[in-house]
Amino acid sequence: MKHKIVYKDLGLIGFKEAWDYQKDLFNQILEIKKNNRELPVCEQRVNYDYLLFCEHPHVYTLGKSGSESNLLINHKLLKEKGAEFYKIDRGGDITYHGPGQIVGYPVIDLENYDIGLKNYIHNLEEVIIQTLKKYSIKAGRFKGAAGVWLDPEDNKKARKICAIGVKSSRFVTMHGFAFNVNTNLDYYNYINPCGFIDKGVTSLRKELNREVEIPEVKEYLKKSFEKVFGVELDQ
């Protein structure tokens, strides 16, 4: 029997609101996990895992190992661009979230799937790679950098289509991936994406030269997530 994960689509939601919601789920999973270890099996509570999808208004987030120097505009210009900025508790450097980008936040206990953090990130990348195949786009991994890239073997052509940054504590995860679908790529001009100064970014719309239906991409992502992780999404 496949493990079930609760799926929720939060729609367009402010970054801080979604972050707080994630933290509540994350802390809940950790608390139940801790308490269950001290209880007999018959008294243990069910501990749910979650997959959240959403879009954010324009926002830049900086991971705990990142450098604020990779934000190339000051806070006054940020406000003029209608964007927010947060220093957050995931790995990685700076990235952008905005309308037309599908953000996925799996809040799950990796011990349920018998995988470590490295394999988990590899699986997240595989979800995106398999989804891109539905659009006849070949994608892969860039050595030494998390995320999903097009033409990763060519330093001059390599461009990122999906950023990945996660947090893990006692094998419970939060944060996740940011997949550029119809994203306004101009907002990447104001940062060194993920700390890179010589690599491009792209979107599904740019690669296909057409607008892409977000609900369609979400369905492909969900199916790929179920297949790669061997789970069933409870919707």
Closest CA to 126 of 13, 223, 7, 27: 223
Residue-wise over 1-13: b if at least 16 C-beta within 10 A, else e?
eeeebebbebeeb
Residues 141, 193, 123, 2: is their CA dihedral positive or negative? Answer: negative
Angle at 182 between CA 202 and CA 19, to 5 degrees: 95
Is 102 strand, coil or helix? strand
d(CA 181, CA 212): 7
d(CA 59, CA 135): 27
List residues with catalytic annotation.
Answer: 194
